[in-house]
Structure 1
Amino acid sequence: MGEDRVDGAADAEQLAQRYQSLVEHTPDGICVHARGTIVYVNSAMVRMLAAEGADQVIGQPLTQFVHPHSVLGMIERISTLTYSGDASGRAEMTLVRLDGGTVPVETVSVLTAWQDHLAYQVVVHDLTAQRAAEDAQRRAEQYFTTVVSQLEEGVVVIDRNGRVESANPAARRIFGTDERSADLLGATIEELPMVLLDANAQPLPSTRHPIARTLATGETITGYIFGVDRPDGQRRWLSGSSRLLNPGDPDSPAVSSFADITEFRASRRQLEYQATHDSLTGLANRSLILSQLAGALATSETLPVATVLFIDLDGFKAINDTLGHAIGDTVLQIVAQRLQRALRGDDLVGRLGGDEFLVLLSGPARRVDLDTLVARLRSSMSEPIIARGHRIEVNASIGATELTPGDHRTPEVVLHDADLAMYRAKPAGHRESGALGRRPNNTHAS
């Protein structure tokens, strides 16, 4: 029996040594206090309080190391512990170190036997690193929010249900919605206070918007063009991209970013227009006429262009020489307007240069229809023109060449044939050298 007692005492002492070793080497601080005085601290707690050794802490009042703002809460928590083994919930508080610094911690207090009385054993977890990480994340989020709010590019976040979670000021400005308005937030694409358009200015169903595809497939889409008709009646053109906010998260919302390219698009179209239209009359220029004619000749099906008319004004040089180029320009502009009014909407009329015009007549044409049209054009252009007090009469010579299925001529040859037909139609007194050659069978002089 005596040996059993000795063995039991040895086991208990060995267990106590193991516990003490565990407590001493745990990364969390361990503090035991009784009757308001600290009676034990482990090595981690010594470091946490910036002490040189345990003797600087043991025997000191507990409240010396607890921030005044945390004392009342601590007292309330431990006052609820009644029996040995009772533990408090996790709670955050602030400790005060010996050097005056503070430490944010999370604590759990347990009422436990200590020597011949009860004491409070406190497990203390240092939150300094966690708080630093949280602060860094918070600063990063604030920085991100600040940057996004200052972008000229619109940024909208759409949740998995297709509803707007957030929109930066640039997005609201581009969409024409008040920055204080809640119309965007929580709205689905269908409920947005604007009409979405595709690149061809046709209504864009929400199911076809790239953001919908990104939400459905996770695909990143860049460089798409779409338009919005805003509540104020303005139409804006946007170049956008869409991607998942967190690609690795299946529940991630999508973010759509877009830049306003309205002015750029208008400028580009203006440049394209200037490259293909005559600056004086606004008619198609030689380049566009030849391009359209080449396309018609390359078509193996029904020819979109049936007849080409070459129109030249008789005696126009005399107008420039006697009245000046300003009046000559006015005459050309009025002639261009008369040609457009006399032709159908799908006919193309252009200015080759000087006083020469070309017309591409669409659809099949009968000879009697062509003669009637030519007579109408000549009659329209022969009406007197009043320019800066001068009464000017302008006549025109018109040559025609018809296109046939399988026509193997080049646009330049077609142009030459129509020019030749026009030359033969010009009154003898107005003919000039240069239009020589035999008229083909499918050309007509009028």
Structure 2
Amino acid sequence: MVHEGGNLQLRADETPVAFCVLDTTGTITHASDPELELLGYHQHDYVGRNFLEFDVDPDAAELTLSRVLAGEDVLDHSARLRARDGSVRHTLRSLSPIRLSGVIRGIRCVTRDITEATMVAEVLQHAERHLAALQKENEVLRARLDDLERTNPAPARAAAHSLATILEATPDLVATFAMDGRVIYANSALRHFAGIASVERLRDEPVSFFDFVAAGQGHDLTAKLRSQLREGRTWTGEIRAPRHDGEVVPLSCVITPHLGAEGEIELVSGIARDVSTYKQLESELAYQATHDSLTELPNRKLLTRFLDRILATPGSDRTMVILFCDIDNFKVVNDSLGHSAGDKLLAGVAKRLREIVRPADVVARFGGDEFVVVTEGVDPVAHALRMASQISRAMALPFDLGATGTHVTVSTGIAIAAGGDDSAESLLRDADLAMYKAKELGRNRAVLFDEALRALVEDRHETESALHMALDRDEFVLHYQPAVDISTGRVRGFEALIRWNRPGAGLVPPSQFVRIAEQSDLIGRLGRWVIRRACEQMAAWDRIAPGLDFEIAVNLSGRQLTTTSIVDEVGASLDLSGLDPSRMVLELTESVLVESLDTALDTLRALKALGVRLAVDDFGTGYSSLTHLQRFPIDILKIDQSFVAELETIEAESSLAAVMTGLARTMGLEVIAEGVESGVQLEALRQLGCHGAQGFLFAPPEPPSRSRRRLGSLLGL
């Protein structure tokens, strides 16, 4: 189901956690954004380092890795990790082996941050230990007083006075009382807490300790307390007692019966501490652990807990609906207006979502620029589409992020609980996949997850598994398409294009597997193979026909740009092949540059330092501006074939290709046109001053053997 703008039509057609992937040596090969945020690192200073470096106890971590490499799943392993700022994060880590063809190739590690919970537990344990220590000191002092009273009454009275002074000065609440509950002594802190004016008032108007407890806790606890004391056992726990101003306050207590010579209970003493501050801290930390601090919406943890609870509730005539919303091109806003504007946009989106949902609906921030709406309806499909339409209309109004209003759209994936085996994880996964489908279809729309999309997902999983084996079996090949110098007609170079020679399916084009390789982290291996093989082929052609000096172009993906290893990989391939770096062109799509703005810039500068040339592929189809292009060390613009095609029907000077050629000329860039299929297009491009062209007019992408033969014929054009 697709919703675009306000029109509805039927159409068929992943969740952020803190995790990292290790190779078998313990080196981190991939890390999610939440993993990096947890420890305060960036991709370039985290990926590539050894897993043990970050553990406060590396010996224990190494032992855990050994267990996983032996094939064991290790769940909720306690680990203290050192963050970039020097602080220590308390975590639970679950590690499992990654197997390919039955062989362990790496380790998957999921991290759960429990720092706040650990802090609260330590504070409360400290309070309990302190109370227990005070109680023990009280018993020791009382025993000494009894000894002194029997042996020397005068020193005993002096010691008793000293003890009374200490008890009056302590901020903890101290009392002694009889087994009938009558309070015999209450120190200053307790008298102030209970509103007892003086010791004399306590004698004149007796107070029952058990009534005091019952007023805040009820009689059930007092009955249990009496029973345990009669057995001569100390009671430790927490009670809620009314303060003099009427507020009921949590107290952590140690209450001990004191036995006489005949075993009878002579006296009961108690020490208590007001733990309301600790409880408030615990409450605040619990809130912070389940809510997003920027938008104050429930976070992923609380959302998942809520969904699991609702799904476990039997019987309802209403069906739960999940809408997974992602802000389109949020990175562009963040990069162009700054992170404070990005935060303001996120808060604004959260506010609008809260305003349009019903009181019983739930809005949560799932992470980054992703939000989830949980709702329900008798007719779930119709209700989901109405809600998606409301969300789209709510986002249509500009957001005030500074000097001018900013317009954004959202892509929404919809999943509907079908009962049976539904879980929070499966519903969120399905909605997330539907959202990505909405992105693929052009953004600003809603897609309903259905059986056709489920089949597509299953097919992708099958393709992913096959890609792993294809790399091991060397099933990939490169085809080469020539680029021609328009002014001379001579070959200026070749673009290397990957094909998958899949058994039983023939040659599979990159459009059917490269995106899957990117999503499954296989793109690194695949990209290295392409660069190495293209350099090797150029070296082979140089040996056959030395002095031709043409260039080879290779496509890079966005995922490759986010790793610093790409620079080393290109450098190594150039060194091994002996290819002059100036003859290598690395092509990146316009959208990749925009989406990887921060990380791409440093990587591209490092690649330029090697001596290679850089090209923007499919120019005109993305969202870049002149400002964006000027920031990157680009050498070549490649005009997308859609703009070349219009040269068949309109004057060259009036075309978008003319605008792009003029822009490139202003920036001192070369221009190559893609998808040239006719002499009319070629002549128009020549008039516009375009430098190079490639397309079926000259040759399709072909295997190396055919490219070699065609090279010979094209050299004479």
Distance apart, 1:423 and its partner CA: 3.1
Shift of the 211–155 alpha-carbon distance from structure 1 to 2, 3 Å rule, reads farther
Residue equivalent to 2:254:
241
Residue equivalent to 2:413:
399
Q: CA–CA distance in 2 between the matches of 1:342 and 1:322?
A: 29
Q: CA–CA distance in 1 between the matches of 2:325 and 2:359?
A: 18
Higher deviation after alignment, 157-166 or 416-425: 157-166
Pairing partner for 1:186 from 175, 199, 206: 206
Q: CA–CA distance in 2 between the matches of 1:360 and 1:219?
A: 54
Residue equivalent to 2:434:
421
Pairing partner for 1:151 from 170, 173, 190: 170
Q: CA–CA distance in 1 between the matches of 2:225 and 2:411?
A: 59
Q: Tell me, what secondary structure is at the counterpart of 1:145?
A: helix
Distance apart, 1:239 and its partner CA: 1.1
Q: CA–CA distance in 2 between the matches of 1:161 and 1:417?
A: 64
Q: CA–CA distance in 2 between the matches of 1:195 and 1:365?
A: 51
Higher helix share: 2
Shift of the 173–389 alpha-carbon distance from structure 1 to 2, 3 Å rule, reads farther
Shift of the 429–372 alpha-carbon distance from structure 1 to 2, 3 Å rule, reads closer
Residue equivalent to 2:304:
290
The one-letter code matched in structure 2 to 1:338 is: R
Q: Which aligned pairs between 1:266-277 and structure 2 lie closer than 5 A?
A: 266-277=280-291
Q: CA–CA distance in 1 between the matches of 2:357 and 2:259?
A: 59
> Hey, which bits of structure 1, 4+ residues long, moved more than 6 A?
362-365
Q: CA–CA distance in 1 between the matches of 2:200 and 2:351?
A: 49
Alpha-carbon displacement from aligned partner over 1:206-244 (angstroms, at most 9, x marks no partner): 453478535874464544223345343655322113232
Q: CA–CA distance in 2 between the matches of 1:187 and 1:215?
A: 21
Shift of the 366–428 alpha-carbon distance from structure 1 to 2, 3 Å rule, reads closer
Q: CA–CA distance in 1 between the matches of 2:221 and 2:202?
A: 22
The one-letter code matched in structure 1 to 2:320 is: A
Residue equivalent to 1:118:
none
TM-score, normalised to structure 1, is: 0.56
Q: CA–CA distance in 2 between the matches of 1:350 and 1:130?
A: 67
Distance apart, 1:188 and its partner CA: 3.1
Uncovered stretches (5+) of structure 1, i.e. residues with no partner: 1-128, 198-203
Shift of the 130–307 alpha-carbon distance from structure 1 to 2, 3 Å rule, reads closer
Distance apart, 1:131 and its partner CA: 7.6
Distance apart, 1:196 and its partner CA: 4.9
Residue equivalent to 1:135:
154
Distance apart, 1:205 and its partner CA: 1.6
Q: Tell me, what secondary structure is at the counterpart of 1:430?
A: coil
Is this contact kept in 2: 1:215–1:253, CA < 8 A?
no
Q: CA–CA distance in 1 between the matches of 2:402 and 2:222?
A: 55
Distance apart, 1:418 and its partner CA: 0.3
Larger radius of gyration: 1
Higher deviation after alignment, 321-330 or 218-227: 218-227
Residue equivalent to 2:343:
329
Q: Does 1:170 align with 2:183?
A: no
Pairing partner for 2:385 from 354, 371, 382: 371
Residue equivalent to 2:324:
310
Q: CA–CA distance in 1 between the matches of 2:396 and 2:188?
A: 60
Q: CA–CA distance in 2 between the matches of 1:265 and 1:144?
A: 31
Higher deviation after alignment, 177-186 or 216-225: 177-186
The one-letter code matched in structure 1 to 2:157 is: R
Alignment: residue pair count:
303
Is this contact kept in 1: 2:232–2:265, CA < 8 A?
no
Q: Which aligned pairs between 1:194-213 and structure 2 lie closer than 5 A?
A: 196-197=215-216, 204-209=217-222, 212-213=225-226
TM-score, normalised to structure 2, is: 0.36
Is this contact kept in 2: 1:210–1:221, CA < 8 A?
no
Q: Which aligned pairs between 1:429-444 and structure 2 lie closer than 5 A?
A: 429-430=442-443, 438-440=452-454
Q: CA–CA distance in 2 between the matches of 1:164 and 1:130?
A: 23
Q: Tell me, what secondary structure is at the counterpart of 2:176?
A: strand
Q: Does 1:260 align with 2:280?
A: no
Q: Tell me, what secondary structure is at the counterpart of 2:341?
A: helix
Shift of the 334–183 alpha-carbon distance from structure 1 to 2, 3 Å rule, reads farther
Distance apart, 1:179 and its partner CA: 5.8
Shift of the 249–272 alpha-carbon distance from structure 1 to 2, 3 Å rule, reads same
Shift of the 149–364 alpha-carbon distance from structure 1 to 2, 3 Å rule, reads farther
Is this contact kept in 2: 1:308–1:360, CA < 8 A?
yes
Alpha-carbon displacement from aligned partner over 1:120-143 (angstroms, at most 9, x marks no partner): xxxxxxxxx988443354344334
Q: CA–CA distance in 2 between the matches of 1:382 and 1:195?
A: 58
Q: CA–CA distance in 2 between the matches of 1:338 and 1:259?
A: 45
Q: CA–CA distance in 1 between the matches of 2:355 and 2:429?
A: 26
Shift of the 384–174 alpha-carbon distance from structure 1 to 2, 3 Å rule, reads farther
Distance apart, 1:380 and its partner CA: 3.3
Q: CA–CA distance in 1 between the matches of 2:249 and 2:414?
A: 44
Distance apart, 1:310 and its partner CA: 0.6
Is this contact kept in 1: 2:235–2:254, CA < 8 A?
yes
Is this contact kept in 1: 2:228–2:235, CA < 8 A?
no
Q: CA–CA distance in 2 between the matches of 1:359 and 1:178?
A: 56
The one-letter code matched in structure 2 to 1:171 is: L
Q: Tell me, what secondary structure is at the counterpart of 1:237?
A: strand
Q: RMSD between aligned alpha carbons?
A: 4.1
